[in-house]
Amino acid sequence: MSSEKNDILRNVYIVYFLVVLAGCAIIGKAAYIQIVEGEIWREKGKVMNLKVEKIEATRGNIMASDGNLLAASVPLFNLRIDAGNTHYNDQYFYDNVDSLALCLSNLFNDRSKSAYKQILVKGRKNNNRYLLLKRDITYTQLKKLRKFPIFRDGKYKGGVIAEPKSKRVLPYQWLAFRTIGWDKDGSENDVGLEGAYGDILKGESGSRLMQRIGSGAWRPTNEENEIDPQNGHDIITSIDINIQDVAEDALMRQLIKNEADHGCAILMEVSTGFIVAIANLGKNEKGFYEEKFNYAIGESSEPGSTFKTASLLAALDDGLIDTSRIVDTEDGTTRFANRVMRDSHKGGYGKISVGRAFELSSNVAISKAIVSVYKDQPQGLIDRFYFMRLNQTLGLDIPGEGQPNIKNTDHKHWSKVSLPWMSIGYEIALTPLQTLAFYNAIANNGVMVKPQFIKEIRSSGLLTRKFETVVLKDKIVKNQGAIDQMRKLLEGVVERGTATNLRNPIFKIAGKTGTAQIAQNNKGYNKSNYKASFAGYFPADNPKYSCIVVINNPTKGIYYGGSIAGPVFKEIADKVYATRLSPDETVKENLPVNTIKNASGSSREIAYLLKHSSLNLPNDSDYIKIETDDTITMVRSLVLLDDKMPEVIGMGARDAVYVLESAGLNVKILGKGKVRKQSIIPGTVYKRGSNCIIELG
């Protein structure tokens, strides 16, 4: 018994000794860590509770040519405070919290003074170092609240924690939407100017040191550890908001009228290549039109009859064709190998000159003329197209340019019908902008310039880069005489050919209509899918602007380029001439009174009419009215009074809507043309917010 007791005591002593030994080891290790390694672990602890946070720079603005914002980043902030701030004591806090709560209530107008005081006091008592007060405040509000009691004691001493973020906004919403585009971080599908100039727009990020304050929350340490971001540069585009608006509006109306699938319109400065307006509209799944794709840049397809200009210019430059040469259009059809070429005019035009065939856009005559001179050397025509640079992209800064496709005679799909069909714009592919660049070169005496969208890059208002004209090809022809002949032919299309609806007594337009059947993938062509286009420039005798309009798949039975695309071109040209071009100084005669009979609208837009007449332009109003009877013409100002109904009779829809909406009225439009009747009598007292119906005719 005694032996067993001794064994138990021995085991207890052993366990006790081991426990004491382990305790001493733990105490010794703790002492070693505390004394010897203490500084190392304290530094590691600091690192684990600190992090560097990136401060995003404010993205630069995209502006129209006149400085109007097309895209801008609006800075917003989440407002938090360090309610447990140790830079001031409780006495200071409670002495000033009433005033701070009142200021916050007055600034945001979303809570009462007592509600804000309750939040602030509760945060102080709970030692909340990261108290959320308000989301999405503006920079102006942030500047004001930094002057409030307590907060005005310094960026961090006052306890203000402003978490910056930004929101990208488009002041004109869908206007030039695809051209403005977007830039999504990490995305390969960046679009438009936002994508092309993303690195310039985004600027350089800053940083600040953040400290963990518990519950997964972080707060800035102090302003000495903060590196301010460098905001992005602004880019100034060549887009004219007013012309862009006209282009989109005119294109939209024509698409709706003809129930077309999609379309585009581009306006470019002849000498510089700067794009003044670019509209792209396509029908979405709900049947509405929107800027869903940049057709002007990205859609490469068969241009149709607008390409006849390139074919005939090549033959003229090679000296193989004279425009007076007679061609037999037969019965409006002719056969090449196993395919029949047809004119849109049934029965043909008889025997006509090449020049007249071009004006009338005869497929039969142009193809026969081209084949007759290039049948033994078809590669000669292709080489001429290549010399004109029609087989190359334009090298646009905006991503997504479609590839041109002009095959040569070695191509596997070259056939006996390739030459005649290519001569009239089939079996090839160009984008609308590539086609426009070619027509622009004709207007520019043979010099092809690169289409550009950006004129300047600025930083804080200071110019950092100016974009100059880029010449892609100094001469698209070898003989200048070929350009001169072609310009006369293009004028003839408007004066006597397929685009006589574009004629006007003020300035000359030159260009070419295009009507192309749309290929249905591998199913060939049918007689129901067409593409209507018009490409040209103005004023024809001194070209300043070139323009192309393309409308795809109109479904109301009309599909000719002059009838579908021509009106859009004319409306854009009229607007440009009225607002951006001075009338020809060589015109001496007065315009006939009936040209400006009973006109009404913006004084700026009809000023060019008055400069060529004997009438004097009033200088006391933005809007004027011209009234003419058989004996006298009167010009009077339209004075817009705050409490009296404006007179809009005689105005176009755009001016009328602008005047009425500026007066606070809701406008409903009936019909089309100029305003002939308004539901509220001019000069009567009205209430803002009232409905006004205007009838056009």
Residue 482, pLDDT score: 97
Helices (H) and strands (E) in the chain, counts: 21, 30
What would the pLDDT profile of 41-99 be if each residue is shown by its tens digit?
555 555 456 677 766 777 888 988 888 888 887 778 888 888 877 677 888 889 998 99
- Which two structure tokens, joined as six digits, stand for 607? 């000023």
Q: Nearest 5 degrees, angle CA 145-CA 149-CA 151?
A: 55
Q: Under the phi-then-psi rule, with left for phi > 0, alpha for psi from -120 to 50, and beta for the rest, what region is 220? A: beta
From 521, 550, 580, give the residue that closes a domain. Answer: 580
SS3 60: coil
Residue 189: predicted pLDDT: 66
> Which tokens hold the place of 690?
């009232």
Whole-angstrom distance, CA of residue 494 vs CA of residue 504: 10
User: Is 524 in the same domain as 549?
Assistant: yes
Nearest to 514 by CA among 278, 291, 310: 310
Q: Which of 559, 580, 601 is the last residue of a domain?
A: 580
pLDDT at 152: 82
Higher pLDDT, 379 or 598: 379
Given a contact cutoff of 8 angstroms between Cβ atoms, the answer to whether 572 and 247 are in contact is: yes
CATH number, residue 331: 3.40.710.10
What order of strands is seen across the sheet that includes strand 218-220? 50-55, 206-212, 218-220
DSSP 149: T
**188 in any annotated domain:** no
Within a domain: 264: yes
pLDDT digits (tens, 9 = 90+) for 295-323: 999 999 999 999 999 999 999 999 999 99
Residues 40 and 125 in one domain: no
Which pLDDT value is given to residue 612? 46
Task: Specify the CATH number for the domain of residue 134.
Answer: 3.90.1310
33 and 57, same domain (yes or no): no
Both 339 and 356 in one domain: the answer is yes
Any idea what the CATH number is for the domain that residue 621 is in?
Answer: 3.30.10.20
- Beta strand 289-290 with 326-328 is unpaired
Q: What integer pLDDT is reported at residue 582 of this predicted model?
A: 54
Q: What is the pLDDT of residues 412-431, one digit of tens each?
A: 999 999 999 999 999 999 99
Same domain, 42 and 61: no
Q: Does 513 lie in the same domain as 468?
A: yes
Answer yes or no: is 262 within a domain: yes
Lowest-confidence pick of 102-116, 178-192, 330-344, 663-677? 178-192
Local structure of residue 197 (DSSP, 8 states): T
Maximum mean pLDDT: which of 72-86, 190-204, 465-479, 527-541: 465-479
Half-sphere exposure of residue 526: CA atoms within 13 angstroms, side-chain side? 7
So what's the pLDDT on residue 590?
A: 39
- Report if residue 157 sits inside a domain: yes
Question: Do 348 and 448 share a structural domain?
Answer: yes
Rg (CA), the chain: 37
Q: Does residue 78 lie in a domain region? A: yes
- Strand 428-429 and strand 666-670: the pairing is unpaired
Question: What does the block give as tokens for 83?
Answer: 């309610």
What's the token pair of residue 44? Answer: 């590691």
Give residues with Cβ within 8 angstroms of 101, minimum separation 6.
113, 114, 116, 117, 120
Average pLDDT of the segment spanning 358-363: 95
Domain that holds residue 41: 2-48
Give domain status of residue 200, yes or no: no
Does the structure show a pLDDT above 50 at 614? no
Whether residue 525 has pLDDT greater than 70: no
- Is residue 90 domain-shared with residue 223, that is, in the same domain? yes
One-letter amino acid at 232 equals: G
pLDDT at 597: 44
Which of these three, 29, 48, 67, is where a domain ends? 48
* Angle (nearest 5°) at CA 645 between 607 and 648: 35
Instruction: Report the pLDDT value the prediction gives residue 404, as an integer from 0 to 100.
Output: 97
Query: Is position 130 within any domain?
Result: yes
* Cα angle, residue 423 at apex, residues 421 and 428 outer, rounded to 5°: 70
Helix, coil or strand: residue 403: coil
Q: Which range (52-66, 102-116, 253-267, 546-560) has the least confidence?
A: 52-66
Q: What tokens were used for 109?
A: 């107008």
Measured between alpha carbons, how far is 113 from 103 in angstroms, rounded to an integer? Answer: 8
Q: What is the pTM for the complete model shown? A: 0.71
Higher pLDDT, 272 or 522: 272
Q: Residues 534, 605: one domain?
A: no
User: What's the rounded mean pLDDT across residues 466-494?
Assistant: 96
Q: What rounded mean pLDDT belongs to the chain?
A: 82
Helix axes 566-580, 241-258, angle to 10 degrees: 160
377-380 contacts, C-beta under 8 A, 24 or more apart: 378/409, 378/418, 378/419, 379/408, 379/409, 380/318
The reply to whether 437 falls in a domain is yes
Higher pLDDT pick, 434 / 622: 434
Q: What is the pLDDT of residues 119-171, one digit of tens each?
A: 999 988 888 888 889 998 888 888 888 889 988 876 556 788 887 777 787 87
Type of residue numbered 155 = K
| Residue 136: CB atoms within 10 Å | 12
pLDDT tens column, 677-686: 888 888 777 7
My answer on whether 489 and 610 are in the same domain is no
Q: Based on the domain organization, do 81 and 32 belong to the same domain?
A: no
Number of domains in the chain: 4
Q: Which residues lie closer than 8 Å to 247 by C-beta, 6 or more apart?
A: 265, 267, 277, 278, 279, 568, 572
Residues 565, 597: one domain? no
How many Å apart are CA 298 and CA 164, to the nearest integer?
37
